[in-house]
Amino acid sequence: MNDNNFVPISTSLKKGVQVRVLCEVANEGNLAIVLGDDIRRIAYFIDGIFKNNCFNTELGIGKTFLGSIPYTPDLVGRHILKCVVDAGNMVKESREDNNVKEISFAVVK
């Protein structure tokens, strides 16, 4: 995941109001990612608790994929969103340090 593609949540979310949580993945390598590769799955966590996955069937060289899941905040306060690709380290990559991104956000009444 590229830092340029991970946009911080700039406003507080409202408790009980559904939003879409977005995470963009870029294939910066020299091989296409095809069906069956773990990197095509984006796992979403809120405060360390798994919420959902989204999948892409393939990710060509130099291509990006914008994944999203629905999320309805249920607790007021500060929270951490974490997006993870290739969680099982199934794909050999030149950089393994860019598979996880975290941001904090607030939920208000």
Cβ atoms of residues 34 and 58 within 8 Å = yes
Specify the pTM: 0.79
Q: What is the per-residue pLDDT for 3?
A: 47
Q: Is the pLDDT of residue 1 over 50?
A: no
What letter represents residue 77's amino acid?
Answer: G
pLDDT digit string, tens, across residues 51-99:
998 877 778 888 888 888 999 999 999 999 999 987 777 777 777 788 8
Instruction: Calculate the alpha carbon distances from 75 to 12, 23, 41, 72 in Å.
Output: 12, 22, 27, 9
**Residues spanned by the domain of 8:** 3-108
The domain tally of the chain equals: 1
User: What does pLDDT average to over the chain?
Assistant: 81
Burial bucket for residue 65 (CB in 10 Å: 0-12, 13-18, 19+): buried
Q: Is the pLDDT of residue 8 over 70?
A: no
Which residues are paired to 54 by β-bridges? 42
Q: What is the per-residue pLDDT for 66?
A: 86
- The CATH number given to whatever domain includes residue 8 is 2.60.40.10
